[in-house]
């Protein structure tokens, strides 16, 4: 007998990221981070409600009092099985969107209930991400040079052929110096933690490693993608804010604890979907076509099957519908279209 195929939830979650990207895209280059993010949140939440699942947001826009929609702990979906943990980033790279720069994306990840690590008051994490070929070569407790030479060996390259994605932040001054001293190449980005992890985990993107301190919530979202790609990832809490340090100290947290991929996502299966908002070397952004259509470019990944799909969506505008306080009237049918 032929086994009945099970459901790839990622194919439904990509409708969620498409809707968020479509709604946010009208604010590209407008200089308003909040408006673009707000439009994406409204759209993402509306389409999440149509997905057949019993979801709980583990990684969201913040606590309930601070984020009225897609807050940590919010129930999403229709309420039907399966029960899932959900991580969202309606706009990763709000500054990139506001300034019209590359690599702003919309992201959703999902795992079975209880399988996604909840970072609590931990906002920053030091991370290292690589593709499958180098997953056994990394050790975040070792020096930058040690890791780079081990990664180069695993990739069967010279270290000066290895490219490292690093966020362009003052805190990374020493890291950048160490990477260059080891002989590797540095690719600096103003934003885009999740995108950097994706590029590091997928061969052929021009990035071989992600290194440095970024958001802990973004680290958990990235872990879902890296797990689905069978890549390698390790992280250590790296608090940057005084309030964050005090909260972790009160919880008596071990700041030296190393989180491996299986600690961040404990389930064997994980789903990840992302849609480009602004153009980038990995995902195209939302394009407004001359014939009135809109084109989106997305990626969908599933851990259990190891499948990776790039999806080009062509969306037709037919009517105008009011949607959400952040909406722009003439483009509200984007959400309807992406949900179908």
Positions at the binding site: 37, 61, 89, 92-94, 124, 169-171, 191-193, 215, 218
Residue labelled with tokens 């990394």: 138
Which residues make up each annotated binding site for Mn(2+)?
Answer: 37, 61, 89, 92, 218
Residue labelled with tokens 């602004």: 278
Beta strand pairing call for 185-189 and 163-167? parallel
Q: Is the peptide bond before 82 cis (omega within 30 degrees of 0)?
A: yes
Angle at 17 between CA 31 and CA 244, to 5 degrees: 65
Furthest CA-CA distance within the chain: 60
CA distance 334 to 320: 9
Torsion (CA) 139, 142, 148, 154 in degrees, nearest 10: -40
CB-based contacts of 118: which residues, under 8 Å, 6+ apart?
Answer: 58, 59, 72
Which residues make up each annotated binding site for substrate?
Answer: 92-94, 124, 169-171, 191-193, 215
Edge-to-edge order in the sheet of strand 258-260:
185-189, 163-167, 209-215, 124-130, 232-237, 258-260
């Amino acid at each position: 007998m032929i086994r009945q195929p099970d459901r790839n939830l990622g194919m439904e979650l990509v409708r969620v990221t498409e809707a968020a990207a479509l709604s946010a895209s009208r604010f590209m280059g407008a200089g308003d981070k909040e408006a673009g993010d707000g439009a994406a949140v409204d759209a993402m939440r509306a389409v999440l409600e149509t997905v057949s699942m019993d979801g709980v947001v583990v990684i969201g826009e913040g606590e309930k009092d601070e984020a009225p929609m897609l807050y940590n702990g919010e129930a999403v979906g229709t309420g039907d099985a399966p029960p899932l943990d959900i991580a969202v980033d309606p706009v990763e790279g709000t500054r990139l969107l506001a300034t019209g720069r590359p690599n702003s994306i919309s992201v959703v990840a999902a795992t079975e209930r209880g399988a996604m690590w909840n970072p609590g008051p931990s906002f920053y994490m030091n991370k290292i991400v690589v593709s499958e070929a180098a997953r056994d070569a990394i050790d975040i407790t070792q020096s930058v040079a040690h890791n780079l030479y081990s990664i180069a060996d695993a990739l069967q390259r010279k270290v000066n052929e290895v490219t490292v994605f690093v966020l362009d932040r003052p805190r990374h001054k020493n890291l950048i110096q160490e990477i260059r001293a080891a002989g590797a190449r540095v690719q600096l980005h103003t934003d885009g933690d999740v995108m950097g992890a994706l590029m590091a985990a997928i061969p052929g993107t021009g990035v071989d490693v992600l290194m440095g301190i970024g958001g802990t919530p973004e680290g958990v979202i990235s872990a879902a993608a890296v797990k689905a790609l069978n890549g390698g990832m390790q992280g250590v809490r790296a608090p940057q804010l005084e309030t964050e340090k005090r909260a972790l100290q009160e919880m008596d947290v071990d700041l030296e604890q190393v989180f491996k991929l299986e600690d961040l996502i404990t389930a064997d299966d994980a789903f990840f979907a992302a849609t480009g908002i602004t153009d980038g070397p990995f995902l195209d952004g939302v394009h407004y076509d001359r014939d009135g259509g809109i084109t989106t470019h997305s990626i969908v990944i599933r851990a259990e099957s190891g499948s990776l799909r790039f999806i080009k969506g062509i969306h037709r505008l037919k009517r105008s519908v009011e949607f959400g306080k952040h909406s722009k009237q003439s483009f509200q049918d984007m959400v309807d279209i992406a949900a179908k």
